[in-house]
């Protein structure tokens, strides 16, 4: 057995998995506060990556400025999307809202292809790419950067929901909208802000992946990988989203290893997470971290 | 000091509800002309049986009616010189009027302190930390509970709900059935604290209750509602001495009440009404 390859793949899995975790958190954020299943989450990454590309390449802005403008753009994008498209859907049947987000996903796919073309583009070199040696394994600096940024975002989420006023208000709204209003919280603001934060953080994830793999419509595939991650973790749990993301990342790479070394079926890595998802849901229907209401006895 | 104050406050009550009519879902008429007044610094209670429209009256005042598809279709509500009927709940909270909803309604997946900090959501000043301490002084047992609020006992949750309202630094609190589901001993404790808060913080209160015994102990004035209308009102003493109130709301305080015959007649009369 090729242990070196296995460890290398597991390390990759961990790094990619934390990134899945970040996107899964964004998905859960929207689901928790607005009860909307956002099928367009992957396209948020796509838009973030392309907009940043436009700032950096077409307008030749320095990286930090282009990055900052992209964040502002994504924030405004999230708010406007919520206000214009999703606010009027409040109170409509769940299935209608789901159809709307699927529609958005298709629309953004098409729109980015139309505006930016269908070929893969790459960012100007921002960081020096080289491999460093960690415990005998080769890791590219870009991967390390991605891992560090993911951890940073997770810590930011933790702080935001634990200590910031808006974060508490978002949790309160997720728990009980009427009570939130009785406390003077504007549910409209909370909804708009959850879309804004979700779009912004997804945009960062899109840029990070874009730096490693280049920018192309393949980015939105993450939006699909996020489903096993969030369902695994429990749709309403942020911690679960992270754990689910990491598990999916590890699974993919283990499947890749087994497939490459023994089975030679090809592409096992992309379906393995879904098989495991089904098995776990048979055992724990609410996901690993999904909560039912606290019952007081 | 209390007596002269009583005479001057006839001028302009802090809150006045004038002949309001409330309709849910555009068709269900629930309040049919309710009027009441709450003078500054006082405790006023609103009593009545299940379904009388007490909670609806409070929600009409706090604006939460909107969240249930209800609307004030007639009359007006005046709070400190402002018209607030059909206003936004957020604006009304910001103007200093805070409702503690029926059934406590704390955020169960948060700790006590997080719940308290949420109460201060509309505030911008730096005094939130001190106010958390102030709430813990009124409700010392909350301080020891560091876990999730969902695991608190019913009484502690009610205390947290009241404490959370204090965090908003309101001028007036609307309390909906604070005694609900609590043992008589706890009800006594909670009402004692409510009275203390009113006295020390000068916060005006409108308390909805089914437990008239306790409510009238702390209230200065009371209204009694039945099927969407105020049927009786008066000062605490007037209500305490009113025969009908004694019979229907105070569980008949007099000695004869204990005889079997009278209980039967009480039941019979209730059915006639
Ligand atoms: N959201 C709503 N939609 C429709 N009807 C409602 C709504 N809320 C209350 N009602 C009706 O309005 C009437 C008064 O209800 P309300 O809750 O105000 O009574 P209450 O006096 O607070 O009673 P309780 O003591 O049981 O709390 C009831 O008949 C109730 O069915
Ligand atoms: Mg009620």
Q: Name the pTM for this structure.
A: 0.86
- Whether B102 maps to a domain, the answer reads yes
Q: Is pLDDT above 70 for A268?
A: yes
CA-closest residue to ligand 1 atom 5: B24
Residue to mutate among A163, A165, A183, with most B CBs inside 10 A, is A183
Q: What is residue A292's predicted lDDT score, i.e. its pLDDT?
A: 57
Q: Which of B63, B64, B66, B67 to mutate to test the interface with A (most CBs of A within 10 A)?
A: B67
The Å distance, Cα B55 to ligand 1 centre, comes to: 7
- What is the reported pLDDT for A284? 74
Cα radius of gyration rounded to whole Å, chain B: 19
Number of H helices, E strands in chain B: 12, 10
Residue B8 lies in a domain: yes
Percent of chain B with pLDDT over 90: 78
Q: Say if B138 falls within a structural domain.
A: no
Over residues A61-84, mean pLDDT: 95
CA distance to partner chain A, nearest, from residue B72 (Å): 18
Give B16's pLDDT tier (boundaries 50, 70, 90).
Answer: very high
Q: What is the pLDDT of residue A119?
A: 85
Nearest to B117 by CA among B140, B91, B90, B135: B135
Q: What is the mean predicted confidence (pLDDT) over A21-32?
A: 93
- Provide the shortest C-alpha distance from residue B266 to chain A (in Å): 36
Residue A296 has pLDDT above 80, yes or no: no
| pLDDT > 80? residue B251 | no
Share of chain B above pLDDT 70, in %: 88
Within 10 angstroms of residue A29's Cβ, the number of other Cβ atoms is 25
What integer is the mean pLDDT of A124-129? 72
The answer to which of A128-137, B127-136, B159-168 has the lowest mean pLDDT is: A128-137
Q: What is the pLDDT of residue A124?
A: 81
Comparing CA positions, the residue from A232, A195, A197 lying closest to residue A35 is A195
Q: Average pLDDT, stretch A270-285?
A: 79
Give the nearest ligand 1 atom to B210 CA.
25
Q: Is residue B54 part of a domain?
A: yes
User: For residue B221, what are the domain limits?
Assistant: 4-110+169-241
Q: Which residues of B touch A179 (CB under 8 A)?
A: 101, 105-107
CATH assignment of A6-94+101-115+141-283?
1.10.3470
In which band, very low, low, confident or very high, does the pLDDT at A222 lie, cut at 50, 70 and 90?
Answer: confident
Please report whether residue B13 resides in a domain: yes
Facing B150 at nearest CB: one of A178, A179, A294: A294
Residues with CB under 6 A from ligand 1: B 24-25, 28, 30, 48, 50-56, 68, 102, 210
| Per-residue DSSP letter, B147 | S
B135 versus A289: which is more confidently predicted?
Answer: B135
Q: What is the pLDDT of residue B178?
A: 94
Confidence of residue B5 (pLDDT cuts 50, 70, 90): very low
Whether residue B258 is contained in a domain is answered as no
Mean pLDDT, residues A185-190: 94
Contacts of B8 (CB under 8 A, 6+ apart): none
Chain A residues with beta carbon closer than 8 angstroms to that of B117:
165, 168
Judge if ipTM > 0.90.
Answer: no
Q: Which of B25, B115, B121, B167 to mutate to test the interface with A (most CBs of A within 10 A)?
A: B121
* A198-207, A278-287, B61-70, B142-151: the lowest-pLDDT one: A278-287
Among candidate residues A95, A128, A131, A152, the one with its CA nearest the CA of residue A211: A128
Dihedral Cα A46, A47, A50, A55, nearest 10 deg: -150
> For the residues A177-192, what does the mean pLDDT come to?
95
Q: A165 — contact with chain B (CB < 8 Å)?
A: yes
Question: Is residue A198 predicted with pLDDT exceeding 80?
Answer: yes
Q: What is the mean pLDDT of chain A?
A: 87
B172 or A93, which is more confident?
A: B172
- pLDDT tier for residue B269 given thresholds of 50, 70 and 90: very low
Return the residue matching tokens 């048979």: A282
The domain limits of chain A are 6-94+101-115+141-283
Q: Report the number of distinct structural domains present in chain B.
A: 1
Poorest-pLDDT segment among A26-35, B61-70, B96-105 = A26-35
Residue B234 domain-assigned?
Answer: yes
Could you give phi then psi for residue B183, rounded to 5 degrees?
Answer: -70, 155
Give pLDDT, residue A265.
Answer: 74
The CATH number of the domain where B37 resides is what? 3.40.50.300
pLDDT of residue B268: 38
Question: pLDDT at position B207, please?
Answer: 97
Ligand 1 site-directed mutation target among B23, B24, B231, most atoms within 8 Å of CB: B24
Ligand 2 mean position, distance from CA B102 (Å): 6
Q: In this structure, which residue's CA is closest to atom 8 in ligand 1?
A: B56
């Amino acid at each position: 057995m090729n242990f070196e390859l296995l460890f290398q793949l597991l390390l990759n899995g961990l790094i990619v998995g934390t990134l899945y975790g970040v996107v899964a958190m964004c998905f859960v954020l929207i689901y928790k506060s607005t009860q909307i299943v956002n099928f367009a989450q992957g396209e948020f990454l796509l838009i973030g990556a392309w907009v940043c590309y436009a700032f950096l390449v077409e307008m030749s802005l320095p990286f930090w400025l282009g990055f900052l403008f992209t964040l502002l753009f994504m924030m405004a994008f999230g708010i406007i999307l919520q206000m214009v498209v999703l606010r009027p859907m409040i109170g409509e049947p769940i299935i209608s809202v789901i159809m709307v987000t699927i529609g958005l996903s298709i629309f953004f796919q098409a729109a980015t292809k139309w505006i930016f073309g269908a070929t893969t583009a790459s960012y100007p070199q921002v960081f020096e790419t080289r491999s460093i040696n960690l415990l005998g394994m080769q890791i590219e600096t870009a991967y390390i950067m991605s891992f560090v940024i993911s951890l940073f975002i997770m810590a930011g989420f933790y702080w935001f929901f634990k200590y910031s006023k808006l974060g508490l208000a978002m949790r309160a709204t997720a728990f009980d909208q009427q009570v939130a209003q009785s406390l003077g919280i504007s549910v409209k603001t909370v909804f708009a802000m959850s879309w804004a934060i979700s779009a912004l953080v997804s945009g960062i994830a899109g840029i990070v992946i874009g730096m490693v793999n280049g920018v192309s419509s393949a980015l939105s595939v993450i939006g699909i990988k996020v489903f096993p991650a969030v369902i695994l973790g429990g749709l309403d749990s942020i911690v679960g989203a992270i754990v689910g993301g990491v598990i999916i990342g590890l699974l993919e790479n283990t499947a890749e290893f087994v497939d490459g070394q023994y089975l030679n079926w090809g592409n096992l890595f992309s379906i393995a997470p879904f098989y495991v998802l089904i098995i776990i849901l048979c055992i724990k229907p609410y996901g690993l971290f999904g909560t039912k209401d606290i019952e007081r006895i | 000091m209390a007596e002269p104050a009583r005479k001057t406050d006839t001028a302009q009550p802090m809150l006045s509800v004038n002949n309001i009519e409330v309709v849910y879902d555009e068709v269900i008429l629930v309040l049919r002309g309710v009027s009441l007044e709450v003078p500054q610094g006082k405790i006023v209670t609103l009593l009545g049986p299940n379904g009388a429209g007490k909670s609806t009256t409070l929600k009409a005042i706090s604006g939460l009616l909107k969240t249930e598809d209800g609307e004030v279709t007639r009359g007006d509500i005046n709070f400190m010189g402002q018209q607030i009927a059909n206003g936004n709940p957020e604006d009304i909270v910001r103007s200093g009027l805070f409702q503690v909803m029926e059934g406590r309604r704390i955020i169960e997946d948060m700790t006590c302190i997080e719940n308290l900090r949420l109460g201060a959501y509309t505030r911008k000043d730096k005094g939130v930390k001190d106010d958390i301490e102030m709430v813990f002084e009124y409700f010392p047992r909350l301080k020891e509970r560091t876990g999730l609020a969902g695991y608190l006992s019913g009484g502690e949750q009610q205390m947290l709900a009241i404490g959370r309202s204090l965090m908003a630094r309101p001028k007036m609190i609307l309390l909906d059935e604070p005694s609900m589901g609590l043992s008589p001993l706890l009800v006594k404790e909670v009402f004692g604290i409510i009275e203390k808060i009113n006295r020390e913080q000068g916060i005006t209160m409108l308390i909805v209750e089914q437990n008239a015994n306790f409510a009238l102990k702390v209230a200065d004035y009371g209204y009694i509602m039945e099927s969407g209308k105020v049927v009786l009102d008066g000062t605490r003493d007037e209500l305490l001495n009113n025969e009908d109130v004694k019979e229907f709301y105070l569980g008949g305080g007099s000695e004869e009440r204990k005889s079997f015959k009278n209980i039967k007649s009480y039941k019979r009369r209730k059915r006639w009404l």
